Amino acid sequence: MLRAILTMLIIAIGITALVGILTAIDAIKSSITDEFTNMGANTFTLIRKYNSEVGNETARFKEIEYREANDFINTFDFPSVKSVHAVVDFTATVKFKSEKTNPNVQIIGADENYIFTSGYQIEEGRNLTSTDVTSNTRVVLIGAEIAKTLFERGSPLEKLINIKGGKYRVVGVLKEKGNASGFGGDRLCIIPINVARQQFPYDNRTYTASVMVTSQEDMTAAISEATGLFRNIRGDKLSDENSFRIRRSDNLAAILIENLSYVTVAATVIGLITLLGAAIGLMNIMLVSVTERTKEIGTRKAIGAKIKTIRSQFLIEAILICQLGGAVGIVLGIAIGNVTSLLIGTSFIIPWAWILLGVVLCLVTGVAAGYYPAQKAAALDPVEALRYE
């Protein structure tokens, strides 16, 4: 009994390591996906394509005009949130009374859907409205860093700030996003796109159309449909390559999740090594058991037990020990994995695939470790077994 319990614990530790680590990895993947979804991970953008080499010639592509980007978001009927925007200044200085920022503020002209496709959220105040965009209202959303710099005390809402000589009324403050999200993630001002076109006129400016689909599963279909539509709007010929680029914002999430796959492989190897040690220990226990129960085996054979019956008895014992250890390991693994899930704020996970893997591994371990001892027990000569001891 003691040897059997110790073997069960060895198997339980192996399965706990395997299921626990893999469950934790699933929780981390879920967290990464959720975070990038909040940051616009289900979004793709149609941006300008710069020069490319075609044979010995250099293909030159024109900027995406406002008309083209606007036509696209008005005619693209795939279920999604669509927006158009342009960065009109990278080095602006924003002023409020005697306070001013460094000349590193990004000014973006956008429509009312831009904050959704770019993953921003409103911390205070409201978003731009379609009326603001169509009526050329001089309102602005400011980033968290600008709000801290210009308005250390009091709310910035309804205050007039100066952007490149123009007065704008602050209607909203964006939730802090961090600079990792791009150039000056919190050092930006978002103004209505028509106002931006008036105050910051530039003939060769390029515009960007963004699309946020419902889920990542829809990305491929949406990108395919968007490509065909925008080729038509841009006048690309059938024989020509795309005159624009499509950039998926979930690329970083995909890279991180891909890197986690190496951790998954390492965890699987660790679990398998532990199970291999458990299998060797189980085989040793079953061989000892066969030796200790030799007389019992002889007695059973003498009263009619078949070879198949003896083999099945010892094989079932080995499998049962493995499955009991596996059950304990699965429960502990799920608990440990979901502690990680709780710490990073994701929902409770039941890793059915890893549970099934644990059950199968325990079954294989039981058969592999128990077959030889069972076969040895079944092959004992009943007369010699009865005379044992």
Q: Pairing between strand 166-174 and 139-142?
A: parallel
CA torsion through residues 21, 22, 23, 28, sign: positive
State both tokens at 264. Answer: 């998954």
Distance of CA 341 to the CA centre of its chain: 14
C-alpha to C-alpha distance for 91 and 234, rounded to whole angstroms: 30
Q: Where are the beta strands (DSSP E) in 79-175?
A: 80-92, 94-96, 99-100, 105-110, 122-125, 139-142, 160-163, 166-174
- Give me the chain's average pLDDT, please: 83
Provide φ and ψ at 43, rounded to 5°. -115, 145
Contact 107, 133 (CB under 8 A): no
pLDDT digits (tens, 9 = 90+) for 163-214: 988 999 999 999 987 654 444 578 999 999 999 999 998 878 999 999 999 8
What's the length of the chain? 389
pLDDT digits (tens, 9 = 90+) for 281-316: 778 777 777 777 788 788 888 888 888 888 888 888
pLDDT score of 180? 45
Residue 140 in this model has a pLDDT that exceeds 90: yes
pLDDT score of 317? 84
Residue 58 in this model has a pLDDT that exceeds 60: no
Residue 108 in this model has a pLDDT that exceeds 80: yes
pLDDT score of 172? 95
Residue 349 in this model has a pLDDT that exceeds 70: yes
Long-range contacts of 304-311 (CB under 8 A, 24+ apart): 307/378, 307/379, 308/378, 310/374, 310/377, 310/378, 310/380, 311/374, 311/375, 311/377, 311/378
